Structure 1
Amino acid sequence: MTPPTSDTDRGVLSLRLAAIVAVLLGAGVVVGMAVQPDGTTGPSGEDALDRTAERYADADSFVGTVTLDVTVENETDRYERSARAQVQYLAPDGYRIDVLAPDRVANTTVATNGSVAWLDGPTGPPVVRSPNASQSERLDALNVSAAVEKLDANTSVTNRGTATVDGEETYVLDVAYTGATELPDDERYANVSEKLDEIEDTNLTVWVDTDDYRLHKVETVVTGAEGTATTTMRFESFRFDVAIDESTFRPPSDRRVVSGAFDRTSYDTLADADAAVDFAVSEPAVPAGFELQSAVVGTQGDRATVTGVYGNGTAEFLVVQSEQNPLARFDTDGESLTVGNETVTVVERGDTTVLFWEADGRTYGVAGSLGQDRLAEIAEPLVAAN
């Protein structure tokens, strides 16, 4: 679902899946017992990973495609997500991610030139601002070079041998972290940590090219009390030291731009979010099987936006209640629909339907891929309360 929320949340929620990978690569989870070498000749595991880190750190630029697949499963359920993106890097600070799949976030771009981070997507005008600490952290989480550096820090590595990946010979490295044993307490990893319950074991394997030490694949298997999560990243068609113009990392200049500082805090309950803002936050009609994943309070100046994220393991919908108008980027010539005593605007974006309206100087919205009628039912209590 393409999030129709605040400027910052649009990028954060769209790229949540990539953030899950970031923690598995770089947050310091402990990996299980390393496999002993099988007699292969070649560099030690630590040496191979050091050379991989140097390969990316020394690059003036690179371009490639990253494919991500995540599967969380237990005895009764299976949860799958996938994504594909082109990444471009230009030293020292240029980084760009162009999302290719899934369709709901395709054609979304997140980029930075070091001084400005920006987001551009199919649902509205570009968002441009100087990144705050949280936003910079999320951009770094999607940076291949940063991920490699984290792989190479505080680890012990075993070279298990060689294997062929996509027709290329690679060293197979088992990586064991010496850091913490749990995923961080952060809403970005709730889908993984909640589904697995207690983390019991994590195994991470890295495949690097035997010739030039490019990454070919990273696979993480996290075993918990309630199931297993498998995350696989493939690095395809990477080319180093290619010519990339600096304009690639600058914000678009031919369209209207939304800008401004934005801070966000995530809460576990809607009541906690309500206590953090100066207006009454209403409860939506939550369908059976769905529950609140997080309630995000975003502030821009003295105005606040509350975004409730609800899910059932396979689908999500969002509820926005705001003192500003974060939905203004949507076309206002959408269809009209009567919900209770309110006429709301309906906009379709791919498989996502957005219902939004204004009342008492605030903006309200419900969005998801559940269908217009079901979203209208979810919105009814908000309409009645406001």
Structure 2
Amino acid sequence: MSSRSGRRRGLVVLVVIAVALAGSAAATGAIGSLQQPSGDDVLDRVEQRYESAESITSTATLTVENDSESATASVEVAAASDNRSRTILTRDGETYRAGSNGTVVWAVGPNESAAWPVEAFTDADRDAFAGPVPDGVMPGERSKHLSPQGTPTVNASNATATLVGTPSVDGTDTYEVELTHPEVDGTASLWVAQDDYRVVRAVATDGTNRTVVDVESTAFNVSIHDSTFDPPTDRLALSTIDRYDDFAAAQSDTDLTLPQLDETFEGATVTVRQGETIVGQRYVTDDGNVSVVSTTVTDRFDRLTENASTTTVDGRTVAVTTVENRSVAAWTEDGVTTAVVVEGATDRAVEIAGRLST
């Protein structure tokens, strides 16, 4: 990540999907004293405001609601140059922290924690360290749906920004900008302070859920102590990640007996965290990509398979489930959970599970 993206992280976290929709927009033309800026003008000035800051701190309230329920969390963000950041989210009495001091990336939750070197942290590694995968995303596929900051990825150049009003938000005169994108269902809106182009509110809807971010305070170019970005070392053990282009090399790096598929091997990662091992293999077949995950983390697939059907494959009881257009076949044997993740129907996941050899 560049220092530019590091400085922008505070904005990305706080406005969530809205900024992912917006991206960067080029301002065109001079703004006369009586002429309102366009939506693109406003977004361009917001980007400049946040990117030019050497440090940012911000607090916000995040609310996600639909017709039947609502959840609220408080968020605190600190970001500085050299790719340093820290985010604290508190929800239902539980606190989640994540950050980087530029050397180590770390995350701490009520029941899980992890740390790993920055140079080892790539999109392909997110699944090894994150908690339950988002709804509709299979293990091994998360990085295709998330940006480096963990927000949904879209082609930002296709976004349309429209200035729809200049309302007052809690006594602050704002520009209200509506954002739409052909790759994203729903809309998002930003309320931007007219005096300094800081984001004061963001709302995103996807047809089912409505996400509201009310920014309570934002400070630019403030002094932030270096220790703010350091991991709580008393709770974290540094994780290791190794990548392999050859199956035999991956197998030699772990005590697990890895299953193998007689298809094109694309690569594997072997991750060790706090004594637990996660091995992810990737294969390419004529019918689409296949991920094979082997792990000693016994609850890795619990949420995905808790309502799954079962079948028998080679004498093993296999849990089978589908999320959107991907299917999982998972089983546990001798303390190791194996999961096959495929594109398509459950029959294919079961068929691939039956073809694995050890």
Q: 1:139 to 1:123 in 2, by over 3 A?
A: farther
Q: Tell me the SS of whatever aligns to 2:195.
A: coil
**How far, CA to CA, are the matches of 1:111 and 1:221 in structure 2?**
27
Answer whether contact 2:167 2:176 (CA < 8 A) is retained: yes
Q: 1:362 and 2:350 equivalent? A: no
Answer whether contact 1:71 1:229 (CA < 8 A) is retained: yes
Q: Tell me the SS of whatever aligns to 2:209.
A: strand
Query: Could you say which residue in structure 1 is the equivalent of 2:59?
Result: 65
Q: Which amino acid aligns with 1:310?
A: R
Q: 1:167 to 1:251 in 2, by over 3 A?
A: same
Query: Could you say which residue in structure 2 is the equivalent of 1:113?
Result: 101
Answer whether contact 1:128 1:251 (CA < 8 A) is retained: no
Query: Could you say which residue in structure 2 is the equivalent of 1:154?
Result: 158
Q: 1:151 to 1:161 in 2, by over 3 A?
A: farther
Query: Could you say which residue in structure 2 is the equivalent of 1:259?
Result: 239
Answer whether contact 2:190 2:203 (CA < 8 A) is retained: yes
Once the two structures are superposed, the pairs formed by residues 322-361 of structure 1 within 5 Å of their partners are none
Q: Which amino acid aligns with 1:362?
A: G
Q: Tell me the SS of whatever aligns to 1:212.
A: coil
Answer whether contact 2:76 2:87 (CA < 8 A) is retained: yes
Q: 1:231 and 2:211 equivalent? A: yes
**Aligned-pair Cα RMSD in Å:** 4.2
Q: 1:125 to 1:160 in 2, by over 3 A?
A: closer
Q: 1:97 to 1:155 in 2, by over 3 A?
A: same
**How far, CA to CA, are the matches of 2:189 and 2:52 in structure 1?**
23
Higher relative contact order (CA 8 A, sep 6+): 1
Q: Which amino acid aligns with 1:127?
A: A
CA positional deviation for 1:112: 1.5
Q: Which amino acid aligns with 1:233?
A: V
**How far, CA to CA, are the matches of 1:129 and 1:309 in structure 2?**
28
Q: 1:134 to 1:215 in 2, by over 3 A?
A: farther
Query: Could you say which residue in structure 1 is the equivalent of 2:149?
Result: 141
Give unpaired runs (5+ residues) of structure 1: 1-17, 30-39, 183-198, 264-275, 280-296, 320-358, 365-386
Select between 51-60 and 159-168 the one with higher mean Cα deviation.
Answer: 159-168
Answer whether contact 1:85 1:101 (CA < 8 A) is retained: no
TM-score (norm 1): 0.49
Once the two structures are superposed, the pairs formed by residues 127-206 of structure 1 within 5 Å of their partners are 127-130=115-118, 131-134=121-124, 140-141=148-149, 153-177=157-181, 179-180=182-183, 182=184, 202-206=186-190
**How far, CA to CA, are the matches of 1:169 and 1:101 in structure 2?**
30
Once the two structures are superposed, the pairs formed by residues 2-41 of structure 1 within 5 Å of their partners are 22-23=16-17, 25-26=19-20, 41=35
Q: Tell me the SS of whatever aligns to 2:224.
A: coil
Answer whether contact 2:18 2:179 (CA < 8 A) is retained: no
CA positional deviation for 1:298: 4.2
Among 301, 305, 311, the alignment partner of 1:308 is: 301
Corresponding pairs, count = 230
CA positional deviation for 1:277: 6.6
Q: 1:214 and 2:198 equivalent? A: yes
**How far, CA to CA, are the matches of 1:28 and 1:51 in structure 2?**
12
Answer whether contact 2:114 2:237 (CA < 8 A) is retained: yes
**How far, CA to CA, are the matches of 2:155 and 2:40 in structure 1?**
10
Among 85, 88, 102, the alignment partner of 1:98 is: 88
Among 37, 45, 57, the alignment partner of 2:39 is: 45
CA positional deviation for 1:135: 5.3
Answer whether contact 1:125 1:258 (CA < 8 A) is retained: no
TM-score (norm 2): 0.53
**How far, CA to CA, are the matches of 1:141 and 1:249 in structure 2?**
16
